[in-house]
């Protein structure tokens, strides 16, 4: 892991509450798709969990910049991120995390809720940039249509790459978007859309309760425990 002063070069609004922050590092640290970084606003007190937080990288290792994406709230950390302007600098420590994609994986799936999509974007961007033929099935759940971060990018990748399939679910209201399913990610939906569920490597990122539920679902579908990769997001 390395620490560097990262310079903000661009901010991108993904939804009403989700925003991406792209940084330039003096010496871009190599990382694996799916890893995360620590963004440090209080370098004098490293245990300050209000101002120092871990964020998944949503950029690909193939990119020169490093991008993190956050659902902004009224927390002190979110306010500090929101106050950043282009050319501002922040201390970044990376890379971290073992829930990563490796080139030898040929068939993978994602069971994702909300902001858990960020490392998935890193992985898919990497697959696209490297022109890998890995077969991808992404199940992505949100409360409402307008909560779906990166939908434009995901729709484009799935429409231009036959090996990338994306299935959206909306849980709290009937979706206006006809491409979205109403309800939670379920055993029935997976079996209807993926014929080889038990033979894939599954990645599950998100809040602990979501990760536990999706891990149990995978086991019910006879997925091998060693083929279930998880990363629990805490502190949100």
pLDDT digits (tens, 9 = 90+) for 116-173: 999 999 999 999 999 999 999 999 999 999 899 999 999 999 999 999 999 999 999 8
Q: 117-130 vs 151-160: helix axis angle to the nearest 10?
A: 30
What is the architecture of the domain spanning 2-96?
Beta Barrel (2.40)
Q: What angle do CA 42, 54, 224 make, to 5 degrees?
A: 160
pLDDT, mean of residues 32-58? 96
> What residues contact 89, with CB distance under 8 A and at least 6 apart?
5, 6, 7, 8
Percent of the chain with pLDDT over 90: 90
**In whole numbers, what is the pLDDT of the chain averaged over residues?**
95
pLDDT, mean of residues 60-64? 96
Structure tokens, 183: 């309800």
Q: Does residue 236 register a pLDDT over 60? A: no
Give the whole-angstrom CA distance, residue 197 versus residue 108: 9
**More confident site: 205 or 175:** 205
Q: What is the pLDDT of residues 169-203, one digit of tens each?
A: 999 988 888 889 999 999 999 999 999 999 999 99
Q: Does residue 235 register a pLDDT over 70? A: no
Give the whole-angstrom CA distance, residue 173 versus residue 193: 22
Which neighbouring-strand residues pair with 90?
6
Looking at the chain, which residues constitute the CATH 2.40.30.10 domain(s)? 2-96
Tell me the Ramachandran region of residue 87: left when phi exceeds 0, alpha when psi lies from -120 to 50, beta otherwise: left
Predicted local confidence at residue 159, as pLDDT: 97
**Residue 44 CB burial class (10 angstroms; 0-12, 13-18, ≥19):** exposed
Band (pLDDT 50/70/90 cuts) for residue 234 is confident
Q: Give CATH for domain 107-232.
A: 3.40.50.80
Look up the pTM and report it: 0.95
pLDDT, mean of residues 3-20? 97
Q: What is the pLDDT of residues 96-116, one digit of tens each?
A: 999 999 999 999 999 999 999
Looking at the chain, which residues constitute the CATH 3.40.50.80 domain(s)? 107-232
Band (pLDDT 50/70/90 cuts) for residue 16 is very high
CB 110 within 8 A of CB 99: no
pLDDT, mean of residues 196-225? 94
Predicted local confidence at residue 26, as pLDDT: 93
């Amino acid at each position: 892991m390395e620490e560097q002063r990262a310079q903000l070069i661009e901010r991108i609004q993904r939804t009403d509450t989700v925003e991406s922050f792209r940084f330039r590092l003096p010496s871009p640290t190599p990382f694996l798709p799916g890893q995360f970084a620590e963004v440090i606003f209080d370098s004098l007190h490293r245990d300050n969990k209000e101002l120092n937080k871990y964020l998944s990288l949503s950029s690909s290792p193939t990119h020169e910049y490093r991008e993190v994406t956050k659902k902004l709230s009224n927390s002190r950390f979110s306010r500090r991120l929101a106050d950043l302007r282009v050319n501002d600098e922040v201390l970044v420590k990376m890379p971290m995390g073992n829930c990563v994609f490796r080139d030898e994986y040929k068939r993978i799936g994602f069971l994702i809720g909300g902001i858990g999509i960020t490392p998935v974007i890193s992985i898919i961007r990497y697959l696209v940039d490297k022109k890998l033929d890995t077969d991808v099935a992404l199940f992505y759940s949100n409360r409402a249509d307008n909560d779906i971060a990166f939908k434009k990018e995901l729709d484009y990748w799935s429409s231009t790459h036959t090996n990338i399939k994306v299935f959206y679910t909306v849980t709290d209201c009937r979706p206006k978007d006809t491409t979205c399913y109403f309800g939670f990610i379920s055993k029935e939906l997976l079996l209807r859309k993926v014929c080889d569920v038990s033979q894939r490597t599954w990645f599950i990122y998100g809040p602990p309760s979501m990760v536990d539920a999706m891990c149990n679902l995978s086991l019910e579908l006879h997925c091998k425990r060693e083929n279930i990769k998880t990363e629990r997001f805490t502190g949100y």
